[in-house]
Every structure is written in structure tokens, then in C-alpha cells.
Amino acid sequence: MYFKLIIQVLGGLILFIFGMTTLSDSLQKVASNKIKSIINILAKRPWASVLVGLSTTMIIQSSSATSVMTVGFVNAGLMTLKTAIGIIMGANIGTTITAQIVSFNIIDLLSYPLIIIGFIMFFASKRRRYKNIGMSIIGLGLLFLGMNLMKQSLEPLKNNIGFKNFLLIFSKNPFLGILAGLIITSILQSSSATIGLLIALASQGLMPITSAVPILFGDNLGTCATALIASTGTTVTARRTAFAHLLFNIFGTIFFLILLYGFKLGNWLFPHLGSNIPHQIANMHTLFNVTTTIILFPIIGSFEKLVIKLYPGKDVVEHKNAIYLDNRLIGTPAIALDQANKELLRLLKLVRIMLEASFARLKNKDTNLEKKVLDKEAAVDSVTEDIIKYLTQVSRQSLTLTLSNKLTSLMHAAYTVERTGDHAESMLYLVIVKEENRMVFSDIAVEELENLNNNVCKMFDILVEGMENNDFDILKECEKNEIEIDRIVKDMRLNHIKRLQKGICMPLSGVVFSDIILHFERIGDLLYDISRNMLEVGFK
């Protein structure tokens, strides 16, 4: 009996978690770009950041996903710690929606219809967006089905006195309940799953509210594990963000422990939370997060300072938004264009780092190099967008012919640098394909690629030096370097054909090798295009 019960409960829990994951992943695919733009635009004020965290978590149904995304934004230099704390506060409130939904008996009726509707939508739709929506509906149905299966499986325990007495231990010793909730949620990586299990037990009369509340507190602490894991290897500020999430829930837990057990207000409060225990659990979860946010939000600045004090360290932040562009200078176009030129130089240096990391990944299996390339690519895209927007605003001013030509040149260069970054990113993906398919490059092929990489990096340095020093003589060196790169590429292709004929290189590896050469060649062409453009208009 007990073996069957355990299998059924675990099966229901797995269905619940799988449904939650499917729902979250599918909704993120539908709304991720909008969510990222909303976070970038609105998260400039603390109150707005709380609303962003709340709405994002309500949309994607995962506070862990929101927290991980927030850690990513902080690590990318797109968001301050203060803004991130606000988003996490909102995310903690948003995650209570799932508990509210599963606390209603209506889920028993909705699970199968939702799965059927989602299935039809997924297989009948040709557009990816509608397929993702269909998959999210299937996920919601599976979540409800898993919940229903857990409730049905636990029914035989209604009359089991031993199991009831075991659960009552958490009423007598809330610290054991907190520990249990923390461990279970850390293992399952989902606070909603733990709360779903509590509500399933409560629906069968097995979980009194006095036992559920301590586990609920531990659940809030355990949900921080995902963000803490995600922050591993990130910047100090990103790790502080994950730590702030933990500190937020520790404060809430201590506050409610004092309130409910120190002042013994539990017996008065619990009956006011709902007509049945499942609703009381869901409402307690909401009350915990809303109250903690109400207390900490007015002192969010002091909370930020406390986090910094408890988690010391210094960051070298790579800003992914423009740092030299000042809207107050738009009315003075000459100075504004100089600032845009500085930002363009920073952009070039970012792309050079991307290229170095992509090539380094060829001989090094360190996945941190992949993160570095993709991190810089996000910066390149973001800064390019800022430069174009800024130059567009400057173009509306009254400009001399010289300034107009300079503006056109900078705008063209910004787009070209962004395309150069795309080639560096594509090289990374080729290296990953080579590794995943266990392709092998001959030693001589690797040496040739290294020589080509050195020449392209040299061209980057020449271009940056010429632009930094306004030196046309140095810029003219780019043409010689581009000719040299074309010669090296031509020789490499001929050598590669000879190696194929001799059987030294494999044909499949040769395809990737040729594509990498092509990207290097295109980068050289684009860098030469920038130098030629600068020489033609004269940017002094």
C-alpha cells in the first residue's frame, strides 16, 4: 500500500513540476523579448521595479526564472542592485498567484480540458508563437493534473494516526518545519511544487495550518537556492542580488516567527485567512511576501547598503548601455558627435574581446568563454542601439556639411561594428559545432587559424589607435593589413584543399574550417570599410 502511495504521490509531484516548468518555459518564449524590454525601460524607479517583478512573475509563473533573469541583467551591467532588489520583491509577490490558483477545487475539472485545448492548439498551429501558447496551456493542465493526482493518492492517509502525528511535530517545533520546507524546495527547485504538496495534504485533512506555516517559511527560504546557484561565477553585484533575495526571505521568516510564535498571534490570525486550510496556506503565502515587501520597500536604500556591507567586494562592471552619450549635449552637435565617437571606440574594443574569446574557445573547453562572448554580444547590440538613437536625435539639429558627414560616418560605422560582432559570435557557434560533432583540425590548420586571428586582431588595434589619436596615417595601415589578410585567407584555402587531397583533413571538419576562415575574412573587410569611411569624410 505504502509503496503504491509513494509512487503515486511522486508521480503527481513530477507531473506538477513538469507542468510548471513547461508553463514557465513556454510563456518565457512567448513573452521574453517584451519582458526584457519592459525590465530595461521601467526598472529605473524602485516602485516600477516592484511592479515589473510582480507582472513578470505573474506572466511566466516562476519567481525563480524572474530571479535568475534579474541576476543575469545585473551581471550584464544593465541593472543596479537597488533596482534588482525591487524586482525580486515584486517576484516574491507574483509567485503567490500559483498557490492561489491551486488552492481552488476547480482545478479538478480543468486539467483534462486544458490539456486537450493546448494539444489541439500546439499541433494545429503553424506559427511558433501559437505553438508556445498551446504548450503553456498543456503545462497548466499538467500542473492541475499533477495536483489532482497528489490529492487522490494521499486520501488513504486520512485515517493514518501515525502520519498525522508525524506532521503535528512541525506544529510543536516550527524550526523543524522550516528546515523541512527549505530542504524540499532546494531539492525540487520550485517553491510552487512544495506549496502544491502542502495544499494536497491539506485537502485530505492531513496538514493542519499550524504545521503548514513553518514549512511554508522554509519553502520561501529554499526558493532562493535557484538564484544563488545561478549567481555562481557572476559579478559581485549579481551575487549580491541573489543574497538580497535570501536576506529578504530571512527577514520575513524572522518577522513572522516573532509575530506568530513570540506574540502567539497564530490562533487569532489563521481563521481569518480563509474558510479552509488550502486557502489559508495560499493566503498565508501571499501575506508573508506582501507584508515583507511593505516593510522593506520604504527602506530599500538602507536594505541595499546592508546587503553590500554583509557581502563586501568590488566589481569591474561591463556597462551594456552607453556611458559617454549625454542627451544634454545634443544641442551642441560637435561635442555630441565626439562623445558618440568615444562610444564607438568602446564598441570596437568589445568586439575585439569577443573575437579573442571565440578563438580561445577553439583550444579551450571552458564554457565561461562562451558566456563571455554572448555577454559581450548583448553589450554590442545594446550600445549600438543607443548610438543609433543618439545620432538620430543629433541629426535633427542644424548641422554643417562637415558635421553631417561625420554623423553619417559614425552611424555607418556603428552598424558595421555590430555586424563584426555577429561574425565573432557565429565563429563561437562553429567552434561549438566542431566540438559537439568531435571534429578534429590538423595542427597545421590550427596554426594557420592562429596566424589569421593575430592579423585580424592587429587590424582591430590599428583601427582603434587611429581613431583614438585622430591619425590618418595609422588608419591607412588598415588597407595594407586587409590585403595581407586576404592573401593569408587565399593561401589557407589552397593549403586546405591540398590537405583534403592527401587525407590529412576530414571533409566534414573542412566545412567548419572554411566557415571560420570566411568569418575572419568578413571581419577584416568590415574593419577596412570603417577605416576607409573615416578617411573619406575626415572625422577630426
Q: Read off the pLDDT of each residue in 75-104 and give the average, rounded to a whole number.
A: 82
Residue partners of 373: CB distance under 8 A and separation at least 6: 354, 357, 358, 361, 424, 425, 428
Tell whether 377 and 414 lie within a shared domain: yes
Assigned domain for 233 exists: yes
Tell whether 150 and 220 lie within a shared domain: yes
pLDDT at 191 over 60: yes
Cα–Cα distance, 205 to 20 (Å, whole number): 25
- The DSSP code for 311 is S
Concatenated DSSP letters of 127-159: SHHHHHHHHHHHHHHHHHHHHHHHHHHTGGGGG
Tell whether 416 and 335 lie within a shared domain: yes
Cα–Cα distance, 465 to 469 (Å, whole number): 6
State the pLDDT at residue 485. 95
**How close are the terminal C-alpha atoms of the chain, in Å?**
84
Tell whether 247 and 338 lie within a shared domain: no
State the pLDDT at residue 33. 53
Assigned domain for 316 exists: no
Assigned domain for 321 exists: no
Q: What percent of the chain has pLDDT over 70?
A: 88
- The DSSP code for 471 is -
State the pLDDT at residue 235. 73
Assigned domain for 18 exists: yes
According to DSSP H, which parts of 437-471 are helical? 443-468
pLDDT at 450 over 90: yes
Tell whether 107 and 81 lie within a shared domain: yes
Assigned domain for 3 exists: no
Query: Domain boundary residue among 284, 310, 336?
Result: 310
| Lookup result for grid cell 568569418 | 519
- As for how many domains the chain has, the answer is 2
The alpha carbons of the chain give a radius of gyration, in whole angstroms, of 29
Segment (H or E) for 325: none
Tally Cβ neighbours within 10 Å of residue 496.
20
Assigned domain for 199 exists: yes
Tell whether 200 and 331 lie within a shared domain: no
State the pLDDT at residue 192. 77
Query: Domain boundary residue among 285, 310, 335?
Result: 310
Torsion angle of alpha carbons 519, 529, 336, 75, nearest 10°? 10
pLDDT at 30 over 70: no
Assigned domain for 318 exists: no
59 compared with 197, residue with greater pLDDT:
197
State the pLDDT at residue 471. 85
Assigned domain for 317 exists: no
Q: Read off the pLDDT of each residue in 361-371 and give the average, rounded to a whole number.
A: 83
pLDDT at 314 over 90: no
CATH number at residue 407: 1.20.58.220
The winner for highest mean pLDDT among 47-56, 220-229, 299-308 is 299-308
Tell whether 212 and 343 lie within a shared domain: no
Domain residues for the domain of 420 are 327-537
Residue partners of 515: CB distance under 8 A and separation at least 6: 430
